[in-house]
Amino acid sequence: MAYSDKVLDHYNNPRNVGTLDKSKKSVGTGLVGAPECGDVMRLQIEVDEETGLITDAKFKTFGCGSAIASSSLATEWLKGKTVNEALTIDNMDIVEELHLPPVKIHCSVLAEDAIKAAINDYRVKNGLEPIKFEESIIH
């Protein structure tokens, strides 16, 4: 199966690779997947307390090219959004943008899960209730 140009672009020039200081209160970290499943995604956001805007986002991913591209794209989309806006990012938006084939949909689900996990981590750190999400269907 050939990869789309957009997946290739993110794979070859991944955006926002790296690590934020997870001990900071303004940083939320989401770590999803499992090594034995062949995919682990770590996605981090840094939130400006005053404005509530996501000022920075970083990722590292162990997984296939589509998983790497999905998380790279997610960090791009996260920057500049408010936390609430970030919650509206849907895995199917990622599928559409990257032209992922059906067998790669779970890579995008992982990215959506990572966003939610990072937001919840941020919320808990800042004394807010974690949001309960419905189980994602495909894994």
Partner 1 sequence: MEELKLPVYLDNSATTPVDPRVLETMLPYFTENFGNAASRNHSFGWVAEEAVDYAREQVAQLINANPKEIIFTSGATEAINLAIKGVADMYAKQGNHIITVKTEHKAVIDTCKNLQKKGIDITFLEVQPDGLINLEELEKAFTPKTILVSVMFANNEIGVIQPIEEIARITHKHGALFMTDATQAAGKIPIDVQKTGIDLMTFTAHKMYGPKGVGALYVRRKNPRVKVTAQIDGGGHERGMRSGTLNVPGIVGFGKAAELCRLEMDTESKRLSELRDKLEQALLKLEESYVNGNTQHRLPHISNISFKYVEGEGLMMGFNKNIAVSSGSACTSASLEPSYVLVALGLDDELAHSSIRFSLGRFTTEAQIDYTIEQVANAVNRMRELSPLWEMHKEGIDLKTIQWSEH
- Under rule CB under 8 A, residue 3 binds partner 1: yes
Torsion angle, alpha carbons of 30, 52, 86, 42, to 10: -20
Which active-site residues does the annotation give? 37, 107
Q: Exactly one of 27, 32, 83, 95 binds partner 1 (CB under 8 A); which one? A: 32
The item of partner 1, ligand FES, none sharing an interface with residue 113, based on CB under 5 to 8 Å by kind, is partner 1
CB-nearer residue toward partner 1: 37 or 92: 37
User: Diameter of the chain by CA atoms?
Assistant: 46
CB-nearer residue toward partner 1: 11 or 56: 11
What contacts 115, CB < 8 A, 6 or more positions away?
A: 30, 43, 74, 78, 86, 87, 89
